[in-house]
Amino acid sequence: MVEDDASHARLMQALLADTGCEVRCASDANQALALLEEGLVPRLIVMDLQLPGLDGLALARILLQRKELADTSILAVTAYWGEETADQALAAGCSAFVEKPIDADPFHALVAQCLSARGHS
């Protein structure tokens, strides 16, 4: 998960744990990339689009160029939802997007959808 707001990070971490996911957290793109350099290959990346420095759209484009992440889904999270934002997220390679504030049931459904879309169980 890549989220710079601590309260949103705690909420999403708890929601992901509810689905049985083991969660590793990064607060910006550089930390996320550092986790990957440690050999982490996530099944799902839940990522805020409004990150400090390198934003989520740019990070998604970088992540999708990495061969080891070919089966990784990206769930974009944003407080600034609109048709243009949704189109940008999908064009950057995100599998789906969800608007803040996070509602547990739709979030859980999107996590399941993202994991199954890439052939995960």
In angstroms, the Cα distances linking 75 to 25, 71 are 14, 13
Q: What angle do CA 8, 31, 101 make, to 5 degrees?
A: 15
The one-digit pLDDT tens for each residue of the chain (121 residues) are: 999 999 999 999 999 999 999 999 999 999 999 999 999 999 999 999 999 999 999 999 999 999 999 999 999 999 887 889 889 999 999 999 999 999 999 999 999 999 998 654 4
The second-level CATH assignment, the architecture, of 6-117 is: 3-Layer(aba) Sandwich (3.40)
Map out the domains of the chain as residue ranges: 6-117
